[in-house]
Structure 1
Amino acid sequence: MECQLATKVMLVDDETDFIELMSQRLETRGLKVTAVTSGEEALASIDDKNIDVAVVDLAMPGIDGLQTLIQMKKIRPDIEVIMLTGHATVHSGIEAMKHGASDYLEKPVDLNVLMEKIRKAKQDRMTALEEKSAEEVKHILKSKSW
């Protein structure tokens, strides 16, 4: 039962050492982690997995983190995305938030801070999904002529 409740996180970063280490550290703390090394790979598998939170590196070759965020939100509007970067600028942070990132963190990231951001992002996603379900039920009930 507890496995089903584990937060499902997708790590997206082109630095394989980083995602291997971070995957282990997050899994040790009870999260279910899918690690991919490119935006393309993330977008190809986002539909196959019921991901709660994606942690996406901003600077990647190919599809960068911002484009990955934008495309993820088109495919799965309910997914929460936390941006990670070693090259933080105010502009990139604002752009990420404008496109729906739930947070923006600098590398090296403090694991406790990341865990708290993931917990909050999952909670926000669950709240949004519950509200959407309640709205759909209301709409169905209104459309029925009982």
Structure 2
Amino acid sequence: MPKRRDCALPETLGAAALRGLRGRCPRCGDARLFHRFLKPVAVCARCGQDWSHQRADDFPAYVAIIVTGHLMAPLIIALARDFALSVTAMMAIIVPLALVLLLGLLQPAKGAIIALQWWWGMHGFVRERPEPSAKSGDGLP
């Protein structure tokens, strides 16, 4: 399927990453990026972008672990300092919450990383930018 030119390309890397975070195609923003939990579609159903070039590898897991750790650390400190909970009670709160956070962050992290790779033209992606708007005045992409 050839790429469609009529889709609205994201204006910034942040817009493309936000589309990826939502599990949408970073190029068009309409079609789904994943057909299974962490398996991206081979080709976008709407714009025809080939996503087989992506090489996210283990980076989404590292991002999810770092974010989970930063969110969990203050909670663990607060639970240990302010409540008289047993070790069993602490583990009953911390472990399930950490697992839910990790699993919940994996797909959005992978979507954002795929968007980053596409935006910068990494791993065989063609670097695309929207046409500069007439009102920007500077003419820079």
TM-score w.r.t. the length of structure 2 is 0.29
User: Going by fraction, where is helix more abundant, 1 or 2?
Assistant: 1
Q: TM-score, normalised by structure 1?
A: 0.28
Higher Rg of the two aligned structures: 2
Richer in strand (by share): 1
